[in-house]
Structure 1
């Protein structure tokens, strides 16, 4: 008899797949590759255009089948929020987010549902999301507390925060992430760097001008007197609300001509950008995952990061930690760290080596095997 793991793959073809879409794709591929004997992986997706079904078959080769709901994504999300549908049936169901059919089920019959929580922004920074998204996430977490057999999180730091929001007892399981697929430097790296217009030396930071992301702190640090006038590559949108990158940089004393910005880069281009950086900056004041550190470590970039619990956990000494503290001192400490890494190449090389060693602790195959073991334990 074949045991089927039903994987919710909808986020891959969502209008904005984002980090959860990448996670779903990479974990899905690894789950298929690590499938134990007598088991199979079936995809579950909302009603979608035929091209989306074909894309899923291409992105996740080896799926035994693709269950196609009769409800479109928005309607399915609402139905699952209120427990109004029994699709896609029983057995083992794995949600790569809270988007899953959380309902009463018979565990003695082999039915089980596992969901994934990537952050608690709906509770800590609700202003960063739409009111509808906040309500949906809070509603689904309540359903998870009642009906989920386990909740997967990427870090112990997030496990601790989630435990303070809802009592899951021993149902929270930590399964780490890994670099996104395709994030590798190829033989055409130099040509890609020229095409992207990358300078000879530069810093890289990902994110938006939203305060908790820390980009404003980086610009403040670069505007401090005595900090090397090194270019900054920003991977993210040009504006956040009524704030604009060039204007904010100018107000903080950073010549906007020093800034090179990209929106969403292909993995091959992002790899070139990160691998060629003098340092990768991860200045977030609040983060629950730490995946961006893993990616930078894997490409051998020296990493300077804030001391959020998730970053400290993921880094484990592989990067240069900058305490956030209180007040306005964070930017000054960032300025000192940036100056040190830019001016002391020996220190930068040590960071590159220690980070690359740390990256070896994170692998999608290992994550997939942990997920299979989790379902077997349940």
Structure 2
């Protein structure tokens, strides 16, 4: 079985969670005893994307730049992926750029945040996502969702339930050693005890609410550490007072450093307004670090009873949750241990890979 998998998001200025998730799916499939033959599909590029977003499979580039390719796919419904990939049994669009259905088509819908919070997106982004949703509803044989939250949103916008499949993501289960985590903490010059946020700075991540919660805490000798690239409709660097040493902005860090920081953190706080999955929550759980996250949306699904769930629109509630973890290290350690156990039991590469293989077999009529 040969499957074409879109991976253009790996070349985006901010690849973000959709690229990480897509590459995780490719890696999971590659671990199977009998993996499918996979070919990545992208626009035309002279170079591979930077680490950690370099695909681990062959990538065939269509001879159009990204903007032209996305427009042509969405408005002209060409070119087909087979033009560069050759014959395929199935196509898997792992993001919201939907190629023409020249073979049985699966589309991953990570989230429908643009419908819940349209003010968080640019007019161009809203048009793109609206067209993507229209094509998914009309052309996709199967719609893949990483969470029940996203699946429910798909049903609400008219996608038939018999086309929706739930395939959660996974995260590498390697536990960073304490000495390695402490070395990274010291290298970045961080306090012994810190709260970590990881993600792309954009409105739905609710960094304003997190920053307000941190100010309410008024902690001395502890830090809030922010890791990740600047996204859109964000002025994260300008929003921080240079004199406030209790907040550290590290921007983008290497993948290994990110995992070490998660292991070193007293807690990871991820109070997004909405998420389709929330990989940072799962990554923190793998490291045995307690998580504060939103009671609404997919992150609550991921954390389950092992997370401290809060109303993301209530900074005082976020502050109180963090206070509870920082003041009760034994309780925090218990939640962290339970979180790791849940991550290793529920969010495995096998579950992701087998779920996708079942979809590909269905598309191919096998």
**TM-score under structure 2 length normalisation:** 0.86
Tell me which of 47, 61, 64 is aligned to 1:68.
Answer: 61
**Alpha-carbon displacement from aligned partner over 1:258-288 (angstroms, at most 9, x marks no partner):** 1111111111111121111111111112222
SS at match of 1:311: helix
Question: Does the aligned pair in 2 maintain the 1:93–1:114 contact within 8 Å?
Answer: yes
Q: Distance in 1 between matches of 2:51 and 2:197?
A: 31
Larger Rg: 1
Aligned residue in 1 for 2:265: 277
The answer to whether structure 1 residue 349 and structure 2 residue 333 are counterparts is: yes
Trace 1:258-273 onto structure 2 (pairs within 5 A).
258-273=246-261
Please show how residues 220-299 of structure 1 align to structure 2 within 5 Å.
220-224=212-216, 230-236=222-228, 244=236, 247=239, 256-299=244-287
State the 1:69 CA deviation.
1.5
Q: Distance in 1 between matches of 2:350 and 2:261?
A: 26
Alpha-carbon distance between aligned partners in 2 of 1:137 and 1:100, rounded to the nearest angstrom = 10
Say if 2:187 is the partner of 1:195.
Answer: yes
- Distance in 2, matches of 1:354 and 1:291, equals 17
Say whether the 8 Å CA contact 1:183–1:267 is kept in structure 2.
no
Tell whether the 8 Å contact from 1:179 to 1:294 is kept in structure 2 after alignment: yes
1:305 corresponds in structure 2 to 293
Instruction: State the alpha-carbon separation in 1 of the partners of residues 233 and 7 from structure 2.
Output: 31
Looking at structure 2, the residues matched to 131 and 82 of structure 1 have their Cα atoms a distance apart, in angstroms, of 17
Structure 2: 5+ residue runs without aligned partners? 83-87
CA RMSD of aligned residues (A): 3.0
Distance 1:233 1:85, change over 3 A: same
Match of 1:174 among 166, 185, 197: 166
**SS of residue in 2 equivalent to 1:317:** helix
1:1-378 equivalences under 5 Å are 3-34=1-32, 36=34, 39-49=36-46, 51-52=47-48, 59-60=55-56, 63=57, 65-89=58-82, 91-103=89-101, 111-179=103-171, 184-185=176-177, 188-207=180-199, 212-224=204-216, 230-236=222-228, 244=236, 247=239, 256-324=244-312, 330-360=314-344, 361-378=346-363
CA contact (8 A) 2:196 2:226 kept: yes
Per the TM alignment, residue 155 of structure 1 is displaced from its structure 2 partner at its CA by 0.4
- 2:245 is paired with a residue whose SS is helix
Q: Which stretch of structure 1 is more off in the superposition, 192-201 or 67-76?
A: 67-76
CA shift digits 1:37-56 (9 cap, x unpaired): 7x41122222221x329999
Q: Secondary structure at the match of 1:44?
A: strand
- Contact kept, 8 Å, 1:238 with 1:261, in 2: the verdict is no
In the alignment, the residues of structure 2 paired with residue 92 and residue 210 of structure 1 have an alpha-carbon distance, to the nearest angstrom, of 33
The alpha-carbon distance between structure 1 residues 145 and 59, as it changes in their structure 2 partners (threshold 3 A), is: closer
Q: Are 1:182 and 1:267, in contact at CA under 8 Å, matched by a contact in 2?
A: no
TM superposition shift of 1:84: 3.3
Q: Find the residue that maps to 1:42 and give its secondary structure.
A: strand
* Structure 1 position 369, deviation (Å): 1.7
Q: How many residues align?
A: 357
Q: CA deviation at 1:199?
A: 1.2
How far apart are residue 135 of structure 1 and its match? 0.8
Deviation of 1:229 after TM superposition, in Å, equals 6.0
Tell me the secondary structure at the aligned position of residue 37 of structure 2.
Answer: strand
Structure 1 residue 27, shift from structure 2 partner:
1.3
Q: Which secondary structure does the structure 1 equivalent of 2:216 belong to?
A: coil
CA deviation profile, 1:195-217 (whole Å, cap 9, x unmatched): 11121111112357755423222
TM-score by length of 1: 0.84
Question: What CA distance in whole angstroms lies between the structure 2 residues aligned with 1:193 and 1:321?
Answer: 26
